[in-house]
Copies of this chain bind each other. A is one copy, B any other.
């Protein structure tokens, strides 16, 4: 968490320094102060939104209520939302995060895309993947997806 602030400081400082350095040469002459301010505003607003999104990432409480329902007819219902087999997931020791990444793997995303989607580094995604694969007894992501579907962990 401190790292974000650090990044912010660095980026901000660099930005300001750059602006200070360049403004007298390129910007101020032909552009107004308002434009300069707008540029800074947009940049910092974007960064702030990113930071806000990042630090409030997913704090979700899942309460699973197991209810036995008689024979759902496949293809009948209104695309009945998929419900992962939490029991099996726990038995395999698969964490929620790992399952989340697994579902993105099943959607055909690359590690990099998953990393971007979840605001984490590619290395983290790889770690989660490796662990999930190990728990599923899979050597490849295609195999992991297949296993996940077989076990009712993925739709």
Contact = CB atoms under 8 A, between A and B. Distances in A.
A117 interface: no
Given A19-B16, A106-B146, A63 B64 contact: yes
Given A110-B140, A142-B108, A146-B106, A63 B66 contact: no
A108 B33 contact: no
Contacts of A51: 8, 45, 48-49, 52
Majority DSSP secondary structure for residues of A touching B: helix
Nearest to A27: B20
A78 interface: no
B64 A67 contact: yes
Contacts of A134: none
B72 A72 contact: no
Contacts of A143: 108-109
Interface string A5-29: 1011101110110011001100110
Nearest to A7: B5
Contacts of A48: 44-52
Interface of A: 1-5, 7-9, 11-13, 15-16, 19-20, 23-24, 27-28, 30, 33-34, 36-38, 40-73, 80, 83, 85-86, 105-110, 138-147
14 contacts: A5-B7, A8-B8, A20-B34, A41-B43, A41-B44, A45-B45, A46-B48, A49-B51, A52-B52, A60-B62, A64-B65, A107-B146, A110-B140, A141-B142
